[in-house]
Amino acid sequence: MRLFDYYRSSASFRVRIGLNMKGIDVERSPVHLLKDGGQQFAGSFTALNPQQLVPVLEDGDLRLIQSLAILEYLDETQPEPPFLPQGAAARARVRALAQVIACDTHPLNNLRILKYLKDEMGQDDEARNAWYRYWVAKGLSALEALVGGHPETGRFCHGDAPTLADIALVPQIFNAKRFDCPLDDYPATMEIFENCMAQPAFDQAQPANQPDAE
């Protein structure tokens, strides 16, 4: 398999965690989202993914896009250790927690959004940082309400083994820290984050540990 990613991309970080958890070694092709006017816009990359976003995972002739779809694919093709718990209700909870981040939080603060706010709407750094922190706070306060004190929450978002929810959560916390978002209001979430980061699969996937890190 070959992973096209960018060290600081949150969706790429998710897939790296998943690959590490499954113990899958991949070739790496870094795509620099800022250099050369954005290497994701090059024709060669657009041919791989018309969305012009990372990550892309190649598995033989297959080209997989969208981090959550890639993670479900990895889970279906190599079931151990599972990314989802047993039982439809538990699986729905884990998927929903992942989607609170992956649908309703992270896409609002992506590079292309911040660029639009600056270039097309003339928003300065302060206004863009306020936007960023606002949506992080919306997402994390919802997540805190969903995991804090919930009977199914354990050392991780669901039980005592990491799931898809934790894989989505951790890169979002890295982003939040990078933009100095206050995190004191999310004690249950941050305890889970620390438990994740104690796992080599998560730690080795973090941006600073990637070959293209700057």
Q: Which of residues 82-111 bind its own copies (CB under 8 A)?
A: 88-89, 91-93, 95-96, 99-100, 102-104, 107-108
What is the residue whose two structure tokens read 């730690």? 203
Cβ of residue 55: shortest distance to its own copies, in angstroms? 11
Of 42, 58, 131, 190, the residue at the interface with its own copies (CB under 8 A) is 131
* Beta carbons within 8 Å of 183's beta carbon, 6+ residues apart: 140, 173, 176, 177, 189, 190
Angle of CA points 110, 8, 103, to nearest 5°: 35
Structural tokens at position 209: 């540990």
Q: Taking CB under 8 A as the rule, does residue 41 contact its own copies?
A: no
Q: Taking CB under 8 A as the rule, does residue 124 contact its own copies?
A: no
SS3 content of the chain, % helix, strand, coil (to 5): 55, 10, 35
DSSP 39: G
User: Please, which residue, 41 or 213, has the CB nearer to its own copies?
Assistant: 41
Of 41, 77, 177, 194, the residue at the interface with its own copies (CB under 8 A) is 77
Q: Taking CB under 8 A as the rule, does residue 174 contact its own copies?
A: no
User: Please, which residue, 16 or 95, has the CB nearer to its own copies?
Assistant: 95
